[in-house]
Amino acid sequence: MEIWQMSAMDMARGVRTGAFSAAEATRSVLARVEEVNGKANALVEVRADEALDAARAADDRQRRGAPLGPLHGVPVTFKVNTNVAGLPTTEGVAAYAGHIATENDPQVSSWLDAGAIFVGRTNSPPFATRWTTENDLYGATVNPWNPAVTPGGSSGGAAAAVALGMCALAQGSDIGGSIRYPAACCGVAGLRPTPGRVPAWSGSPSFDPPMAVQAFVEQGPIARTVADLRLGLRAMETYDARDPRAVAAGSRIPGSPERPRVAVVTDPGGPGLRGSSTPESVEAARTAAGWLADAGYTVEEVELPLLGEAARLWWLLALTEFEIGMVAEVARVGDPGFRRFFDLMYAAYREEFGQVDLPGFVAGWSRRGMLRREMSVFADRHHLVLTPVSGEPPFTMGADAESAERTAELMGRQWPLMSVPVLGLPALGLPVALGTAGAPVGVQVIGRPFEEEAVFTASEVIEARAGLAIPVEPAGSR
């Protein structure tokens, strides 16, 4: 096995035991980047010289017997909407190419402090707001399994890079599905942690980020294995004073039993947005449910209308607030493809809500609190919830900006993803099987706050039965 093919855990173990050096691991990964990135466009900045310098410094620390972090010698990537000191935080927008970060974001500092080797930046749609990953600044990222369908967004570059072996771990961000969705689309695993578990700063010190951004955005790892997600999360969950929400790892909730009860929801029912779940997505969820039942879990398929209502509430709260400042900025600097998607998304929003007034917006935040309470009571019996990761398999590139009807349908089918931030829960997206389009179709495992370990354990059952071969060769090379 080449070093770049190894899991993050095996890579870290190999460096620590002297089987190979951090410099050798980094050279192997950079050679893989050179081989496949031109076909995938997942990394839009490759920091080869800096990575090799950091790897040699890591090897020197090890020779001196200095303390080593859990990611010592492991090559990682960061997303282009994440601040890395001295580099532009472009967010996939050409006009932001001169926005140079003056400091590292907490999620960058934590991985670097844990010994990770930074090899490059991953692609994102403009403003990290689209269900695919393309922009006029860097171009489109290709799904490694089928270039005709989306790699997911907004962390599509991160997920594709992991799937292809261009890094062992990738950092992603998730406000409405941007870690979980691309991970499943590309055949890997991605975790959105419990709010407060991973410190982050979502915005600029020079302006106040919107309430929905402060409440809904989380930072998390993307990896080829669930075990690697554990490693990535462990290194991320540090203290950082810039995030007052961040708490020490752990929970006051009584721990879940070894095989907690699982509620399977394939269509939430109730007052949700247009578009529920396609038969292929439903089949993926029921297949995964069967695997959990085989492993000893008590599995029950239920309707859970509050998931649909929570997804609808995401639209009301996030899009109402984003409109205040984002519409003008998108018109000013957005590229034509993104502007079209953005306009169609807001057309669907208008059809659903009309003009939201202040009392309606405030009532939405109040309703969020009640939904979280209802979910907490439900989760006291069903500690895990299993859903499709999306209501449909990866769609054809460009379909999200095809028409107002299609955009509304696709957005509605993301109910599993958008419900989670509103409810403040941890969730993990991962693949189940290759779908009819030749790209992975996935599921989402949702847990109780700070119960990531129960989510990991159930996800490992699904991962073992799915058995997708990762890393992959780019489509057309196999």
Question: Nearest CA to 311 among 444, 440, 186?
Answer: 444
**pLDDT value for 99:** 94
Assess contact for 160 and 186: CB atoms under 8 A. yes
How high is the pLDDT of residue 244?
78
CA atoms within 13 A on the CB side of 207: 6
Closest CA to 126 of 145, 114, 140: 140
178 carries an active-site annotation: yes
Task: Please name the residues in contact with 241: beta carbons below 8 A apart, sequence gap of 6 or more.
Answer: none
pLDDT at 228: 98
Q: How would DSSP label each residue in 299-332?
A: EEE---HHHHHHHHHHIIIIIHHHHHHHHHHHHH
* Helix 415-423, helix 305-314: angle, nearest 10: 80
Check if 256 is active-site.
no
Cβ density class 195-231: b for 16+ within 10 Å, e for less:
bbbbbbbbeeeeeeebebeebbbbbbbbbbbbbbbbb
| Selected catalytic residue, list 21, 28, 79, 281 | 79
Q: How far is CA 257 from CA 138, 294, 399, 458, in A?
A: 47, 17, 42, 12
**pLDDT tens-place string over residues 65-115:** 999 999 999 999 999 999 999 999 999 999 999 999 999 999 999 999 999
How is residue 174 written in tokens?
Answer: 């998730």
Name the catalytic one among 110, 154, 281, 419. Answer: 154
Beta strands of 267-402 (E only): which ranges?
Answer: 299-301, 384-388
Q: How far is CA 169 from CA 117, 145, 161, 453, in A?
A: 10, 19, 9, 19
Ranges in the chain, pLDDT < 50: none
Is 403 one of the catalytic residues? no
CA distance 345 to 129: 10
Residue of 124, 178, 202, 390 with catalytic role = 178
The pLDDT of residue 243 is: 83
Average pLDDT of the chain is: 94
Residue 275: per-residue pLDDT: 59
Summarize the chain as % helix, strand, coil (round to 5).
45, 15, 40
C-alpha dihedral sign at 388, 434, 296, 448:
negative
Q: Are 424 and 372 in contact (CB under 8 A)?
A: yes
Q: What is the pLDDT of residue 128?
A: 94
For residue 122, which phi and psi values (nearest 5 degrees)? Answer: -105, 150
The residue whose two tokens read 């594709």 is 160
